[in-house]
Copies of this chain bind each other. A is one copy, B any other.
Amino acid sequence: MTEYDVLLADCPARTTLELISGSWMIVVLVGLAHGPQRYSDLQRRAGGITKKMLTQTLAKAVGSGLVVRPDRRGGAYALSALGDSLLVPLTALTTWAETHADELAEL
């Protein structure tokens, strides 16, 4: 196997990396970790995010299939099964960030 390799320029996995590039996607996905939430609850949870970035980030997340809206016609946002599986490595990453934040040198 090992069909894909993120080091290769034309690898589809690069698309995934671009999806979480920008600081907000990870935060929003982690914000949805403990269950479906409505827009304003999510905005409160993802500290510091503006409506613009929340809307934009959710649009990308829904568009890519990481997030769904159980009752369309607008309701809460929730992680899809795919989004939920992505949460595993993402949580490992945020845990690392929380643990080693103090060890990073200032730029």
Contact = CB atoms under 8 A, between A and B. Distances in A.
A47 B45 CA distance: 37
A56 to B, nearest CB: 12
Nearest to A90: B93
Q: How many copies does the complex hold?
A: 2
Interface of A: 2-19, 21-23, 26-27, 30-31, 45-48, 60, 63-66, 82, 85-86, 88-90, 92-105, 107
Given A8-B47, A27-B6, A48-B9, A19 B104 contact: yes
Contact of A104 (B9, B22, B64, B98): B64
A105 to B, nearest CB: 4
A3 B9 CA distance: 38
Contacts of A65: 103-105
